[in-house]
Amino acid sequence: MTNEYYLQSNQAVIHKKPIPIQVVNVDYPRRSAAKITEAYYRRASTTDYNGIYKGRYIDFEAKETRNKTSFPLKNFHEHQLEHMQKCYEHGGICFVIIRFSTLNRVFLMDFSTIYKWWRQQFENDSRKSIPLENIISEGAEIHYGFSPRLPYLDVLDRMLTK
């Protein structure tokens, strides 16, 4: 809904990427209702969303956890971070939106911060998650609104001007 709002208000053009699946079997219980019963991923997908914002390419992932104290890094796939790294190296704006569902809190963290934590987990048996207090201090909270529902571009603007 937020991306639709941004598109309609001409603030940004951001779309959810389709998941590349190969449909194998479809059940047709009635003519107007088809149900996919078997499908496989054709290839690993990259990130959830991409588009253009203020003349720059934007690419981001949206993640969610029920955890109350940290965000598990296992929620990322290596190919997602490799994709964001390539986009970032070419001047793209890359970030992650993380929702703590049990706390009903949402944060935006830029790619370089996420990537730092990702690399750290492989060094000397380091943490396999990002503590909530670090997400609060290193990222930025996105407060729910009415329109748009999740005004992440406002938070992104503040982060980009730092």
80 annotated to a ligand binding site: yes
User: CA-CA distance, 151 to 116, in Å (whole number)?
Assistant: 25
61 annotated to a ligand binding site: yes
Mention every residue, 6+ apart, whose C-beta is less than 8 A from residue 121.
Answer: 73, 127, 128
Side chain identity at residue 79, one-letter code: H
22 annotated to a ligand binding site: no
38 annotated to a ligand binding site: no
Residues at the binding site are 46, 48, 61, 80
Residues at the binding site for Mg(2+) are 46, 48, 61, 80
